[in-house]
Amino acid sequence: MVVTGAAGFIGSAVCRALLDAGCHVTGIDSFDPFYARRVKEGRLVMLRRWARFTFREADVRTTPLMEKVLARADVLVHLAARAGVRASVAEPGPYIALNVRGTAAVLEAARRAGVRRVVFASSSSVYGDAAAPFVEASTALRPMSPYGATKRAGELLCRAYADQHGFRVAVLRLFSVYGPGQRPDQAVHRFAHRLVSGRPIERYGDGPLERDYTHVDDVVNGVMRAVGWTETGGARCEICNIGTGRAVTIDRLIQLIADSLGVAPVVVMAPAHDGDAARTLADLNKARTVLGYCPTVAVETGVPEFIQWFEVAYGRQSRAAS
């Protein structure tokens, strides 16, 4: 197996699950500067304990290396990307360079190396402000951010490689992933930092704001099922939502984080962000039918578990700042 973005939040968790399942895994990551390298290095410490894990620090657009690594693999799990909706509005360049050109380069390297089984991480952001719950068959997709647009471009490239080159691709539209090790720029992690340091949380816009928050364990389960699915037939590209099928308001989320930390939240209103959908919610019928996917972690258990990890990861530092 080759996993791109292996030092990332989701990639490291996927590598771990694949190693637990007995696979040989080659992880690729360039330590993209979107957030601190030491956070990513920290995730690799755990993975490097397995003799079946090999890590290559490389950009996925380095074609000769990718072809060489893929020549020894049967499955590609492509998770490397520049993530983050809001940052993509301010600076779209890296999103196009990494998510579109990077995905094109990876698919082409896979084709040349003879790898036909691919799992690709897309995003709920491709739906934009479509009516929730979001259904994969929806054709009226209008991503609201460059990030969402680059993910949709990646999906279309995957479909073209299935049609033209016999690839079997599972495209997973992931919904707001959280859990231990979450990226520092994401809502749950960012809010926890603000709450322990006594700073107010900015709530963007005065309208309803709801997200389908998905625990990383459920996402890993979805990826593992998708890997299995790529083995079961011929050329095809299927898109499946990976969420929980439940929308949680931002206010409820903040309260859950505050309760887990044992603090009272202070929330201030701020203008709505460009690129943010008001509501995301996954319809899971297709993921259930195609992959047998069934989420198991509710925010009521997932958020306290995240906070346990947060308090260990940041130790006294997080409390001392409060």
Ligand X SMILES: NC(=O)c1ccc[n+]([C@@H]2O[C@H](COP(=O)([O-])OP(=O)(O)OC[C@H]3O[C@@H](n4cnc5c(N)ncnc54)[C@H](O)[C@@H]3O)[C@@H](O)[C@H]2O)c1
Residues labelled as active-site residues: 147
Taken in order 111, 112, 117, 121, the sign of the CA dihedral is: negative
- x-or-dash pattern for ligand X, window 55-94, by CB under 6 A? ----xxx-----------------xxxxx-----------
How far apart are alpha carbons 274 and 156 in whole angstroms?
A: 24
Is there binding between residue 102 and ligand X (CB under 6 A)? yes
Query: Minimal distance in Å, beta carbon 198 to ligand X?
Result: 27
Alpha carbon distance 152, 143 (integer Å): 8
* Interaxial angle between packed helices 9-20 and 216-229, expressed in degrees from 0 to 180 and rounded to the nearest 10: 60
Which of 104, 294 has the CB closer to ligand X?
Answer: 104
Rounded to the nearest whole angstrom, what is the least distance from the CB of residue 84 to ligand X in the complex? Answer: 8
- Identify the helix (H) or strand (E) that includes residue 1: none
For residue 212, state whether it binds ligand X (rule: CB under 6 A): no
User: What is the total count of residues that contact ligand X (CB under 6 A)?
Assistant: 30
Residue placing its CB nearer to ligand X in the complex, 82 or 117? 82
Q: Pattern 301-320, binding to ligand X, x per CB under 6 A?
A: --------------------
Binding residue for ligand X (CB under 6 A) from 23, 26, 30, 116? 30
> Residue 102 region, left (φ>0) first, then alpha (ψ -120 to 50), else beta?
alpha
How far apart (Å, rounded) are the C-alpha atoms in residues 29 and 7? 6
Any contact of residue 241 with ligand X (CB under 6 A)? no
Residue 248 gets which letter from DSSP? E
- Interface residues for ligand X in 108-167 (CB under 6 A)? 121, 123
| Stretch binding ligand X (CB under 6 A), from 159-167, 174-182, 248-256, 309-317 | 174-182
Q: How many CA within 13 A on the CB side of residue 67?
A: 9
Kindly give, in sequence order, each residue whose CB lies less than 8 Å from that of residue 276, ignoring residues fewer than 6 positions away. Answer: 85, 86, 144, 145, 204, 205, 209
| Residue range at the interface with ligand X (CB under 6 A); choices 31-39, 246-254, 255-263, 265-273 | 31-39
State the residues that interact with ligand X by CB under 6 A: 4-5, 7-11, 28-32, 34, 40, 59-61, 79-83, 98, 102, 121, 123, 174, 176-177, 183
